[in-house]
Structure 1
Amino acid sequence: MIGYHFKTQHSVRIAQLTDCHLLAAPEGMYQGVQPYHTLAAVLEAIKHSKLDALILTGDLTQDHSVASYQHYLALLAEFSLPVFWLPGNHDDSQLMSTLFQQAPFRPEKQLFAAGWQLLLLDSTGPTPAGYFPTTRLQSLQHQLQSDLRPCWLFAHHHPAPIGSSIDRHGWQDAEPFWQLLHQHTQVQGIAHGHCHHAYHRQLQGKNVVGCPATSVQFQQTGVWQTLAVGPQWCEWTFTDQGNFSVDFKRIMP
């Protein structure tokens, strides 16, 4: 796998955006908001931040349309920093690969930043739930065995239940994945989208971070409900001292 190497520096700052759910029409509605405009507001807010990259962690589209992905090309045209991506259950991976071939988009899924290895995982499968079959496990194992620097993983699906209605579409058969993580102490944690909910907790000795959505958030209840409380995202900092931090950001409605 070809990796992307950030320039040598003491720290790297990355914005994680997820679950944007864009539609072909910019004025289209998703759960009571216009997702094109909520994403545009986030991009405007971070445009002048001293960021080194963006990571988009899936469900970039709601209607799977070419036009919805083309909005990203237009919205990010002014950004000079690299934009990395991985698919969610609403996405079309082949379409993304075809359309996201021009700057600032980058194809790499293995990033090297300030002494860290950041791995972008594909957790999608034939249903809305998360899947990580043997072939993906073997690839991840090879990457972790070949590089022992501190590591964070990024995926779309949450790797363990969070007590929400979204759990029925969570990561299926996650135990082999967790067994692999236990074998590699350099893995500090996994960040994901899918839940439309901001949280940071410890699970089985690893950090798990849920990145909130740029569109709407999900109520943490057994019955699916949404909250339009302003677009949200995460900002990460990784340092060459082996430290990391994550900040949850929000634009008030």
Structure 2
Amino acid sequence: MLKEAVEYSLAEGEAARLVQITDPHLFASNDGQLLGVNTSQSLAAVLNTLNATHYPAHLMLATGDISQDYTPDSYRNFVQAIEFLGLPCHYLPGNHDDPRVMNLHMQGPRVFGQQRILIGNWHILMLDSTVRGKPGGHMGELQFSLIDQAIAAYPNHHTLLVMHHNPILMDCAWLDQHCMDNGSDFLARVSAYPQVKGILWGHVHQAVDEVYATANGQLPLMATPSTCIQFKPKSPYFALDHLQPGYRLLELLSDGSIHTHVYRVPGNRFAPDHSSSGY
């Protein structure tokens, strides 16, 4: 049985406008640093950059690794940081999160942990790809059941699937050890549904805009930069990129198409420790 969805009404034909932020890796202390980057400050820079655009978003998606130290205060810091935007925020867990602590302390009048969002003629499913105690991910049968039931209940809605882990390999040997281990099966199963119009994730700390060929056409595959450190693409060993923190804007059009773009903090304020061999 499907659990209740959070619902938003749109004008006829209006696009659903979303912001995705991911992998802030916050600490209990606002002085906390990850590989030389103050993650509280980098998140604030991303949110200020977004705010300066005056993008008329309907809601925000926060796709995991909210915390780096698993503390209640790290989650409360996130809620406090986004409050000034006035946007509803829907979140899901990443491998660095403690789901129990997260659900207890990611609290606010506009903060939601439900897995289903109905907005206009779109159905957004916030999937849990985490495996307790492991950095890599797996899409379990309970999540597949949610997808099946949600599409059966709303067959005329377009569907966006959102998760933390990458279902495709990144051609980045060290990072590909920590992908969704059944990503190929996941893509094969969900692409059989014509209602599925896009797949969105975090985890990889870099931008991805690719397509997956299906019998129903080209399925967009999208990943978004972290709001803190960036991983160097296509590196066989752990390496950090020089690019700045970022976020993604998405427009889900009523015809099922998606317009999207990644934006980054301007300048070069955030420089990680490139001598780091891991985290």
1:158 to 144, 155, 166: 166
In the aligned structure 2, how far is the partner of 1:86 from the partner of 1:128?
15
AA matched with 2:86: S
2:176 to 146, 167, 181: 167
Listed one character per residue, the Cα deviations across residues 60-85 of structure 1 (whole Å, up to 9, x for unaligned) are 11111112111112212333221000
Structure-1 residue corresponding to 2:91: 85
2:80 to 71, 74, 95: 74
Quick check: 1:20–1:213 contact (8 Å CA) kept in 2?
yes
Structure-1 residue corresponding to 2:127: 121
Structure-2 residue corresponding to 1:18: 22
Listed one character per residue, the Cα deviations across residues 191-245 of structure 1 (whole Å, up to 9, x for unaligned) are 1000001021112432110111110110121101112422111011112233321
In the aligned structure 1, how far is the partner of 2:170 from the partner of 2:79?
33
CA RMSD, aligned part only?
1.5
Which segments of 5 or more consecutive residues in structure 1 lack a partner in the other structure?
none
In the aligned structure 2, how far is the partner of 1:98 from the partner of 1:170?
27
Structure-2 residue corresponding to 1:176: 185
AA matched with 1:88: G
TM-score by length of 1: 0.94
**What is the Cα deviation at residue 174 of structure 1?**
2.6
Structure-1 residue corresponding to 2:258: 244
Structure-1 residue corresponding to 2:109: 103
Structure-2 residue corresponding to 1:147: 154
Quick check: 1:76–1:104 contact (8 Å CA) kept in 2?
no
1:227 aligns with 2:233: no
Number of residue pairs aligned between Structure 1 and Structure 2: 253
**What is the Cα deviation at residue 107 of structure 1?**
2.7
Which segments of 5 or more consecutive residues in structure 2 lack a partner in the other structure?
269-279
| Larger CA deviation: 137-146 vs 37-46 | 137-146
Structure-2 residue corresponding to 1:60: 66
1:217 aligns with 2:224: no
Classify 1:62/1:228 alpha carbon distance in 2 versus 1 (closer, same or farther; 3 Å).
farther
| Larger CA deviation: 68-77 vs 88-97 | 68-77
**What is the Cα deviation at residue 187 of structure 1?**
0.5
AA matched with 2:49: A
1:5 aligns with 2:28: no
Structure-2 residue corresponding to 1:45: 49
Identity among equivalent positions (%) equals: 25
In the aligned structure 1, how far is the partner of 2:242 from the partner of 2:114?
33
Q: After TM superposition, which residue ranges in structure 1, 4 or more long, deviate above 4 angstroms?
A: none
TM-score by length of 2: 0.86
Classify 1:174/1:243 alpha carbon distance in 2 versus 1 (closer, same or farther; 3 Å).
closer
In the aligned structure 2, how far is the partner of 1:121 from the partner of 1:128?
16
**What is the Cα deviation at residue 53 of structure 1?**
0.7
SS in 2 for 1:236: strand
